[in-house]
Structures are given as structure tokens and as C-alpha cells.
Amino acid sequence: MEKTKEQKQGLTKERLQEADRLLQEVFGIARKLDEIKVFHNILPFNNTELQFMKVIVLAEEEGKRVISSDIARSLGITRSAVSQMVKKLEEQNVIVRIPAENDKKSSHVVLSKGARAAYECVKDYMNAFICQIVDRVGVEEITGFIAGMNRFIDIFNDVLAGISQTEADTLKSEMENCIAAEAEAAEAE
């Protein structure tokens, strides 16, 4: 009797079930992290807008200014999404656009004076909030969690990068065939 692909890779039924359980846990944690709304009931900004402001502040602290594409790259979001945020935050007098000296098509994005003062206030409040969490959980456990998650993500990406395009195409084709077969069976009933 010929071994299955899973058996050739040393993947027993128990090991595959454990992997499935762990994957569900990871997805559950990712979902919970995604659902965290930092001070959504206190602040007029969402998490992305706060990160947007932080990118601007960090650049200013280094004596630099940013343009929309810098913010998009830092946050890992599209320039279109940044453009929408710039428009919204500019209407709220949170940011100001300043024409770039070397490029007439570009403009630097800076926080208004009032927004910068508000950001510092919020930052102090958020740091105090995090201190409460650290007091309950402990620096070592939080540091270990962060290190473990970063290691997990790095290894996950390494394994993902090791999947050949042929293997990915084969898996995609198998899934499409399963779906098509199930649809045909449902139609036949």
C-alpha cells in the first residue's frame, strides 16, 4: 500500500489534529488583537489614525517631514487609504499639508499645533494605561509574548516562502476541484 503525502512527511492524524487546533488558536488570537479598539470610546481617532499620527511625530522628532507615500509604507496600507485619512484629518484640523520644496506635486503632512499637543496628552494617557497592564502581567511575560509572536511570524513567513509556486498552484487546483465536485453532487440531489 502506498503512503499518503502526509505520511511521507511524518504527519500523523494526531499531529495534523494538533496543528489544526493550534492554527485555530492563532487565528483566534489574531482576531482578538484585530478587535482591540484602543480607547475607541474616549478618543476621536481610531487605531490607524493614531498610528498615522505617530509616524508623523516620529519623523518630526528626527527632524524630518513625511509625505503620504511614506505614511502608507510605514503603516502597510495603500496610498489611497492614506489619502482618505489625510482628507478627513485635514478637515478636522488635525493635520496640515505643506507644499514640498523640491516637488510641486507633493506635500508634507504635519500635525497641527493643537493636534500635536493632544497627541502628547494621549501618548501619556496610553503609556499610563499600558503601565497598568504591565503591573498585572509583568514585563517578562509581555516581553516573552512579543518575542514569541515575532519568532512565530518570522518562522511562518520562512515556511510560507518555502512553498513553491507549483505546490501552491496544485493546492489551489485541488481546492477548486473539491468545491466543484461538491457543487455537482449538490446539483445531482
Q: Among 31-45, 48-62, 115-129, which stretch is predicted with the lowest mean pLDDT?
A: 31-45
pLDDT recorded at residue 78: 92
Fold entry, domain 47-137:
Arc Repressor Mutant, subunit A (1.10.10)
Scanning 36-67, the segments in alpha helix (DSSP H) are 47-61
Q: pLDDT tens digits, residue range 178-187?
A: 898 888 888 8
Residue ranges covered by each domain of the chain: 47-137, 139-189
End-to-end CA distance of the chain: 34
Residue pLDDT, tens place only, 4-37: 665 556 788 899 999 999 999 989 988 888 777 6
Residue 187: predicted pLDDT: 86
Instruction: Say which residue, 48 or 95, is predicted with more confidence.
Output: 95
Determine if the pTM surpasses 0.75.
no
What proportion of the chain, given as a percentage, has pLDDT over 70? Answer: 92
Rounded CA separation 50/39 (Å): 10
